[in-house]
Structure formats: structure tokens, C-alpha cells
Amino acid sequence: MENEDLTPVLESDQRAGIGVIGCADIAVRRALPAIAASPFRLAAVASRSRHKAEQVAAAAGCAAVEGYERLLELPGVDAVYVPLPNSEHALWARRALEAGKHVLIEKPAVPSEETAQKLVALAEERGLAVMENFAFLRHPQHERARALLADGAIGELRSYSGSFGIPPTDPRGIKYQAELGGGALWEVGCYPVRAAQEYLGPSARVVGAGLTFDAGLGVDVSGAALLCDDGGVTAHCSFGLSHGYRSTYDLWGSEGRLVLEWAFTPSHSARPVLRLEQKDRQTRILAPAADQFLGVFTAFHDAVRDPAARAVHHHELVRQAGLMARIRAHALGGETR
């Protein structure tokens, strides 16, 4: 396979080509179908296993590549999506940028603000985009929530409360492996934390955090964080890997409350409900169905094509990495500011 010439396949279509580094479940189930519907051309899928690469590529209708480095060598690949275990994100994002590829990193992108800053600096030096995949932000229900808030539907925002929890699964899974960057904070806590930043100001800081560890698994299985900005808006983020499923956030204002009942992981055919509470009246707003993964690949394509669209993604990557690192440090008794 190393000697296979894929150039004719990759150059037959002049759209921006994207390659996928790894065959994770999230890539197969959600990303590959979304890429097929996006402005990108799905060029290749890489795996360390030839058989796995060929199996996934055959179903997706693209080239199969054995080895991640080989994919980065392909001239027809302009960008890559990295859905590897969390511990591998920084390494392969850096290698992809060094190879001249734009990069979309599956969440959580990297574990520290310093690492995020280095990736952004490298991307900007090479004239490339690097972006973290929080696909939920591309669902129109969040745009609707921001519009209602801006229109004064709940008055002035006082607080945000977000929760994301999932039931326990096979303890041998990646999310329970500390050496692979597993644990509740990284796996599910990143969602309500990222959503909170849509509503708190840039001065958002950690004022409290706690994590509960499972001694047998060696990772945190639940936790919470309290954030606050200089305007006095607070955010309570709770999360866990040993819970009944919950995927929600609410905005509490001076004159009402807005609840997103299925905030983070709606299926592409679902129509999530926003519940608006105003004094003695409650209004249920049905959001349109949308493939949020298609939304994120469309946004990433825009950043690939338009250098002016990259700065916001670079800023968000660094901000999220820094806040997550401070939450963990605070919970473990370290840095609190």
C-alpha cells in the first residue's frame, strides 16, 4: 500500500480535499456522512490498520491509506480531521500543520492553553486554519437562543446552568483510559463549559471546581465547575460518565428563563425544543432539524477558503483550552485564576 499512487484519484476533483486521520466511531457515524454532504471532497481515510482503512474507505467512497504519516504526504489532501484519542490530538495536529494541512481537531482539542497557543502560532505562521470540533454550536437552536437573549426575551442574563451526563459504558473504552486523555471533564465536561462561553464575557474565570474519581478506573467520573465574569454572570457546569443521560442548558434572566432541552447531541433528524418561561407564560419553540456535523464541516471549509474566517476559531481554541485546564487545576487544588 505504501507504493500505491493515489494522485489521480485525489486530483480528479478540484474541490478542497479533506483526509481523516483515524477511524474512530464518531468519524464513521457522523463525520464521514457530513463530509460527503459538505463543500469538501473526501479524499482519503487513514488507519494504522490496512484492513480497517480499506473497510471504512470502501463504505465512504474514498481512498484508503495505511499510516497517518502517509496521508499527510498526499498532495490532494488540503485539510485533515483528527478524531484520534485525546492524548494524540496535539501530536497529529502539529504534524498536519507542519505538512501544510488545515486541521479540524475533535473535541477536546488539547489539554493546555500553552499547547493551544503553539498550534495557533504554527497555523498562523503557515497560513493555515486550526479549529476545534464543537459541532453542537452549529445547530440552529443555539442561534435561536442567542437571538432570544439579544431581543430581551428573558431580560438581562444573570446565570447559565449546563449539564451533560451519559450512562456508564465498557470500562475498557477510551473514555476511561487516563493515559489516553479520558475522564469526565475531558469527555463530557467540555460541552457545558464551551456553551457557557457563548454567554459569559471574555473575563470568564473559574471560581470553583470539583471532580469525583473512581479509584478502580483511575479517572474522574463526574464533576462540576462554577464560572463567573466581571459582569456578575455566573455559569454552573455539571457533567458525568455515570449518570442518566442529560444534555441541557438553561439561561436565567431578570425577567424569565430559557431552557434548551437537548442542547449538545441531537440527531440530525431531531427537532429540539426550546422552552421560554416569562412570568406566568410558557412558550415551547421547536427548532428545525439540522445535521450539526455538516454545519461544522461547512464552517471549517469556510476557514480553509477564507483567511479572514480563521481568527475566531483560533481564539476559541485557546480560550477553551485555557479554561478547561484551569478547571482541572482548581479541582485538583492547583491554580485558581
Let me know: does 78 contact 127? Beta carbons within 8 Å: no
| Residue of 219, 254, 257 lying closest to 240 (CA atoms) | 219
Active-site residue (options: 107, 118, 175, 279): 107
Give the Cβ contact number of residue 44 at 10 Å.
Answer: 25
Give the Cβ contact number of residue 223 at 10 Å.
Answer: 23
Going edge to edge, which strands form the sheet with 205-214? 205-214, 219-228, 234-240, 157-165, 246-253, 257-260, 273-278, 281-286
Classify the C-alpha dihedral 186-189-191-194 as positive or negative.
negative
Let me know: does 180 contact 187? Beta carbons within 8 Å: no
How far is it, in rounded angstroms, from Cα 171 to Cα 266? 25
- 107 in active site: yes
How far is it, in rounded angstroms, from Cα 59 to Cα 65? 14
Residues annotated as catalytic (active site), given as ranges: 107
